[in-house]
Amino acid sequence: MHGGSRGWSAALTRKGIWSRLRLTSLRLRLVVVFGLVALTAAVSASGIAYWLNREAVLTRAQDAVLRDFESEMENRASALPDHPTQDELQRAAGLMATGGQHFTVLLVAEDADGRTVYGGSGGLNGFTLGDVPESLRTAVNKEQPLDSGNKSPYHLYWQRIVDDGTPYLVAGTRVIGGGPTGYMLKSLEPEAKDLNSLAWSLGIATGLALIGSALLAQAAATTVLKPVHRLGVAARRLGEGKLDTRLRVSGTDELADLSRTFNSAAEALEKRVDDMAAREAASRRFVADMSHELRTPLTAITAVTEVLEEELDSESGGLDPMIEPAVRLVVSETRRLNDLVENLMEVTRFDAGTARLVLDDVDIADQITACIDARAWLDAVELDAERGIHARIDPRRLDVILANLIGNALKHGGSPVRVSVRVEESTDEVVIRVRDHGPGIPEDVLPHVFDRFYKASASRPRSEGSGLGLSIALENAHIHGGEITAANSPDGGAVFALRLPRDVSEVVSAAEGETAGGAAQGTTRGATEKGDA
């Protein structure tokens, strides 16, 4: 960007922290979306990985235990007699439990007397038949029909159970051809601990992935949003009238193209505004020059019309009655032209910023009385003002404001016109209200009453006024630091309210300071441009 980019980049940094925390910010939404995507992906991947590893671990441990148990049943339980004693079952169960898998064994058989005898390895606080699920016992003792697909009447069955939070593997089978029924109980707690460790590892990995995604989202958001934020700041500066604002362009991506487009638009806008300002300045110069040029011939015409007017008023009747109406028309139109030229010159002073205040201590009631008396309006105007209300203002410009407001009320409103003066202590302002008793101002006209050359009726474009009176009155109020408002009274008629500070000295000092600063800036800029040339 052009010079001055460091200043607003510092402001950008100060506001950056709060803008990142706003719930409606695009940065936060990007981080949340990235986090949700990463969380979904990580949880899905961790869940699938956990499920696959869990099945693999349990299946591997289960297969090893079942193979060992089946082998022990074939080698030791099948070697027992058809009707073993309890001691024989106990010895066989103990030998079977000493294998590599360290499971607990319970053997069930019938002795020679037909009694059911049990023999267990004695581990895990005693493994009894009651610890075996009913469904598993039923499946183990159920004889299966033999066919081509089933060569054995009894099979090995297993089931996973949980007792007091500890997982176990329970299996059972019968010796083929007669013999004891064997049951096995194996704790899966080591495998459960391994799976818990895996779950913790996957959870930590998921959390790290979420943090990483948030950091990546922050980096991506910064990469994308920083140029966008700069563009927003530049657009606001452009809207504030700083038409020399430009963006620094780097890269060839879409954001760089957007910056180039903004710079092109800003350059075109600056050129267009400069052209319009130049045309407006030329127009103002033309009006000012025209007004000045008209004053010389108008002075001579005014002198002639004064002579003609004296002839009209003389008792000798020096003018031909046939031309008397034309002479009266010339006199009235010359006065209108003189007023128009004076008004145009006043407007050009406001536009050029050369209008100045000459302050004096004024009694508001005396000033209003003098204005009314000078124009012979005493019979048509009612004054409601206490003497002793003083203000330090420009009396000549106040007279212009009052003359325009009261004259407009008399011309377009209805008599009597009432002028009231009040002091607002809270704002230390003088409020002068001018109210007429006419039909009021149409609602569609109210927003335009202070516009230059505005005519309330398009069918009457020609009237006695120039269309500049209220506009000049408003400009005189503004130069005092005041304001004029127009409204309709609920009781009928229009009300114009003039508000002026009681002491305009501060306004004059501020205006002189701005003028001095602008002059100094113009001098510096001219010297810089001369140096560049």
Residue 161 has pLDDT above 70, yes or no: yes
- What pLDDT does 524 receive? 39
Residue 464 has pLDDT above 70, yes or no: no
Residue 281 has pLDDT above 60, yes or no: yes
Distance CA 248, CA 2 (A): 8
Distance CA 117, CA 107 (A): 8
> What is the mean predicted confidence (pLDDT) over 197-222?
81
- What pLDDT does 21 receive? 47
Nearest CA to 87 among 66, 58, 117? Answer: 117
Q: Phi first, then psi: what are they for 124, rounded to 5°?
A: 55, 45
Share of the chain above pLDDT 90, in %: 9
Residue 366 has pLDDT above 80, yes or no: yes
> What is the mean predicted confidence (pLDDT) over 283-299?
71
Q: Is the C-alpha dihedral spanning 121, 124, 125, 126 positive or negative? A: negative
CB burial class (10 A; 0-12, 13-18, 19+) of residue 123? middle
- What pLDDT does 242 receive? 86
Residue 426 has pLDDT above 60, yes or no: yes
Distance CA 256, CA 249 (A): 6
The answer to whether the CB of 238 falls within 8 A of the CB of 269 is yes
What beta strand segments (E) does 364-437 contain? Answer: 381-384, 390-393, 417-424, 429-435
At 495, the pLDDT band (50, 70, 90 cuts) reads very high
- What pLDDT does 510 receive? 63
- What pLDDT does 421 receive? 92
The answer to whether the CB of 93 falls within 8 A of the CB of 118 is no
At 317, the pLDDT band (50, 70, 90 cuts) reads low
Residue 437 has pLDDT above 60, yes or no: yes
What are the pLDDT digits (tens) for 402-421?
998 998 888 888 778 999 99
> What is the mean predicted confidence (pLDDT) over 213-227?
77
- What pLDDT does 419 receive? 93
Residue 231 has pLDDT above 90, yes or no: no
Among the residues of 240-358, which ranges form H helices?
254-313, 324-352
- What pLDDT does 430 receive? 92
- What pLDDT does 73 receive? 84
- What pLDDT does 370 receive? 92
- What pLDDT does 497 receive? 93
- What pLDDT does 8 receive? 43
- What pLDDT does 500 receive? 92
Angle between helices 189-239 and 5-21 (to 10 degrees): 140
What are the pLDDT digits (tens) for 348-358?
777 777 778 88
Top-confidence residue, 522 or 338: 338
Distance CA 204, CA 211 (A): 11
- Mean of the per-residue pLDDT values of the chain: 78
> What is the mean predicted confidence (pLDDT) over 500-506?
86
Residues making up the chain, counted from first to last:
533
pTM above 0.75, yes or no: no
At 4, the pLDDT band (50, 70, 90 cuts) reads very low
Residue 483 has pLDDT above 90, yes or no: yes
What are the pLDDT digits (tens) for 6-46?
444 444 444 554 444 455 566 777 777 777 887 788 788 88
